[in-house]
Amino acid sequence: MEGCNFQPKGGIDAWVAQPSPEPGQLVVQPLKTSVAQQLDQLRSTILQLPATAFDKNTAQRKTALSNQLKDLINLVNTSEYRTTYDTLVHDLKPKLTGLKTDENELPWGNGLLKNPWVIDPTVQSTLRTQCNQILFELKSMIPA
């Protein structure tokens, strides 16, 4: 691509293009870094949600979710992709969206969580999109 420089930054074979602060350059970073950043962004999004987005115990639930996402970031940084994927799809995503579905919206179990922590449908939709993107990228990092 004319006018773009590709600058690989470290240790995995999958790369995600990211715009750099310098005009005309494109920085390509490892998928591992991208997933960790997306998990941190999800954490930030949750911490900024209004109390009305939650069914109850907003402060405690935000803290629990934040801590769990920090743990997932640490797992990604140590290349524990399967554990990260499983925790996100089977524990966090249902609490955030009310859905028991994978990154392709295929249900597991009965497909619904009886008592999700986040109850605002608009917020659930936003969080579902974020979770699905992370799950999709994590799935591509898990050895067959």
Q: Residue 108: pLDDT band by 50, 70, 90 thresholds?
A: confident
β partners of residue 19: 26
Question: Which carries the bigger pLDDT value, residue 143 or residue 138?
Answer: 138
Q: Three-state DSSP class for 118?
A: strand
Lowest mean pLDDT among 20-29, 50-59, 80-89: 20-29
Q: Residue 42: pLDDT band by 50, 70, 90 thresholds?
A: very high
pLDDT at 46: 97
Task: Identify the residue whose tokens are 């917020």.
Answer: 123
Average pLDDT over residues 18-30: 63
Distance, first Cα to last Cα, the chain: 32
Question: Which carries the bigger pLDDT value, residue 41 or residue 108?
Answer: 41
Which H/E stretch holds residue 131? helix 121-141
pLDDT at 25: 64
Average pLDDT over residues 1-25: 49
Question: Which residues of 2-124 form beta strands (DSSP E)?
Answer: 6-8, 15-19, 26-30, 99-101, 107-112
pTM of the predicted model, to two decimals?
0.79
What are the residues whose beta carbons fall under 8 Å from the beta carbon of 7, sequence distance 6 or more? 20, 25, 26, 27, 28
β partners of residue 16: 29
Q: Which two tokens stand for residue 19?
A: 């715009």
Average pLDDT over residues 77-91: 96
β partners of residue 118: 54
Average pLDDT over residues 44-64: 97
